[in-house]
Structures are given as structure tokens and as C-alpha cells.
Amino acid sequence: MSAGLYHSDDPTLVQLSTLKLPSLPAGTPYLLKSLTDENIDFVELAAIVEKFPGIAGKLISLVNSAWSAPTSEVTSLEAACSRLGLGAVRSTSIALAVAAPFNPAQCPAFDLEYYWCSVLLTADAASRLGAVSVPKHEYEPASLRAAGLLHSLGLLWLVDRLPHELDGALTMVKNNQAGTLQQAIFDVLGFDQMLAGGHLGDSWSLPDPLVAAMVHYAQVDYGGPYREMVTTVGLSTRLVAATLKNESCPGQDARQASLGISDENLNSVFAQLNGQLAKIRDIAKLLI
């Protein structure tokens, strides 16, 4: 099992194992591996993505949207990748690939656009924070981006499999009957979206650092395996939450210190997230 996260006699794991596991679409592991390769260029990226017509079509649709506003219609995937940029292509492609097995439509309280906006921003934040960590981060920006995109996949799975229960948990948070969504889900199910995400990632044989981030990103003082990955994603979610609530940059916490990120660099990343928000919202709309 990944990252030493589970024990076979864990009653929560037994409960999770009763939920139907979605299957990744054919070719997705290959796509994920390719999209986390830092050395890939636009031509190679286009050649990979064109093997997935649904994703290719969405990217071409995005590049011709009002957000991108090209001077002339873009019809080639290579041109679309070049115009969108490697980061946006990686994020959008991974999100489209992993979202395919899930249908959250039966959970009225779940805001899918907000969900994708949050995870896309988390991916962007993680890649940026990795670049300003001291000493140099052990994970490449593309891997951190993937971790940010996948960190909350457990929530999407639970919304798909247990829509009525999750609708109740989400409603509790909306009505201020629970402090956090994590607590509300635990109160309703007896486990949270992090443990569900870890079980899902493990069943999909995702790399151990990504699974660890899915399970532990909310732990401020995490000191287990793949600490830099987990801590970077966790700090990213804190910045993103403040961005989406239109709050000021959060104050320093243990994760910022452990990554060696200065206040100046943290504020710079936070400002960049706010500058990207409109663009990210447009991409999120494309994913729903």
C-alpha cells in the first residue's frame, strides 16, 4: 500500500472498500506520467494530448474562448498548447482525465465550478511555492502541480458515490453547523475526504508522494514521508482559501517556515494567485 497509509484491519478502510471504485479511463496513467515530465515541450505535449480527443477538443475550445481572445481562430492542438502555456495545458488535461469517472450531479449542495477553481488554483500555488522554497524543492513544478490537482479527489469521489450524505455535510457547513467541511463529513460518515482520497489514489496506483498529499495535506505539522510534497500542497490550500474568500494573505505558519519561504515570496505568490483568478474561473467553467 502507498506511503504506509493503511492497515488491513482498519475498520474505516473496510467501510471505504464497500464503495464502488471508479476506473481510470484508458491511457490516463500514461497521460499523467507524461504531463509531470518537466522536460516536455509544446510539440511533444500536443502529440501526447492528441491521443485523447475529448481533452484535445476542450483545449481548442478554451484557446478560442473570450478569455484567450486570439486574433484569429486557433485550429491546431500544437498552436493551442503554445498559446495556453504548459502550466494551463497540464492542469486542464489532468483535471479532464481524472474527472471523467465522476458524476456529482446528484448532490445539489456541491458547487462543481468552485471545486475546480479551488483545485486549479491549488495546483498553480503549489508549483509557485516550490520554486521559492529554500533550499531548492526536491519535487519539480509539474509534480507539485499534479499533487495540487489531485489533492481533493476524495471529495469528488464521495460526492459521486454518497451524494445524499455529502449534501447533508455540505449543508451543515453552509448553515454554520460545522466548523469545517472535513469535520462535517467525518460527523456524517465516520471518515473524511482525505482518507477517502488516499484509498482512491492507492487503488489507482498513483505515486506514493501524490497519495501522501491527498491524505495529509491538512496537517500543519506533518512530518511523515514526502513531507515537502504534503506541506507544499497544504500551504497552497491555505492561500487558495484566502484568495477565494477575498481575504488578505494568511499569516505565517509552520508549513511556511519548514519550506523556507520568506514573507515577501509568500505575498508574491498570493498576489499572483489573485491575478490568475479570473483566468482560472474560465478554465473551471470549461470543466463542468
> Could you tell me which residues come within 8 angstroms of residue 272 by beta carbon, excluding any fewer than 6 positions away?
124, 128
275, 278, 288, 270: which is closest to 68 by C-alpha?
A: 278
Q: Evaluate the omega torsion of the peptide bond into residue 25 and state whether it is cis, within 30 degrees of 0.
A: no
Same domain, 248 and 130: yes
**Looking at residue 11, what is its pLDDT?**
61
CA atoms within 13 A on the CB side of 92: 31
Q: For residues 60 and 116, state if they share a domain.
A: no
* One domain for residues 92 and 121: no
Residues 195 and 79 in one domain: no
Residues 148, 94 share a domain? no
100, 131, 157: which is the final residue of a domain?
100
Its pTM stands at: 0.89
Tell me phi and psi for residue 129, to 5 degrees.
Answer: -65, -35
Is 8 domain-assigned? no
Question: What is the per-residue pLDDT across 218-277, written as a single tens digit (0 to 9) for each?
Answer: 999 999 999 999 999 999 999 999 999 999 999 888 999 999 999 999 999 999 999 999
Q: Based on the domain organization, do 69 and 111 belong to the same domain?
A: no
Q: Domain of 35?
A: 25-100
pLDDT band at 279 (very low <50, low <70, confident <90, very high): confident
Final residue in a domain of this structure, among 100, 131, 147: 100
Q: Residue 10's pLDDT is what? A: 59
Q: What is the DSSP string of the chain?
A: -GGG---TT-HHHHHHTTSPPPPPPTTHHHHHHHHT-TT--HHHHHHHHTTSHHHHHHHHHHHTSTTT--SS----HHHHHHHH-HHHHHHHHHHHHHHTT--GGG-TT--HHHHHHHHHHHHHHHHHHHHH-SS--SS-HHHHHHHHHHTTHHHHHHHHH-HHHHHHHHHHHHTTSSS-HHHHHHHHHSS-HHHHHHHHHHHTT--HHHHHHHHHTT-TT--STTHHHHHHHHHHHHHHHHHHTTPPPPPP-HHHHHHT--HHHHHHHHHHHHHHHHHHHHHHHHT-
**Does 159 share its domain with 70?**
no
User: Do residues 163 and 70 both lie within one domain?
Assistant: no
255/284 same-domain check: yes
Task: Tell me, yes or no, whether 171 and 110 share the same domain.
Answer: yes
Query: Mean pLDDT across the stretch 88-102?
Result: 89
Q: Do 106 and 100 contact (CB within 8 A), yes or no?
A: no
Residue 49 covered by a domain: yes
Residue 144: inside a domain: yes
Q: Which of 4-8, 141-145, 255-259, 274-278 has the lowest mean pLDDT?
A: 4-8
End of a domain among 100, 128, 157? 100
Check whether residue 216 and residue 109 sit in a common domain: yes
140 and 120 in a common domain: yes
Looking at residue 20, its pLDDT comes to 85
Q: What percent of the chain has pLDDT over 90?
A: 56
Does the residue 6 lie in any domain? no
Question: Residue 79 corresponds to which cell in the numbers above?
Answer: 498552436
* 197 located within any domain: yes
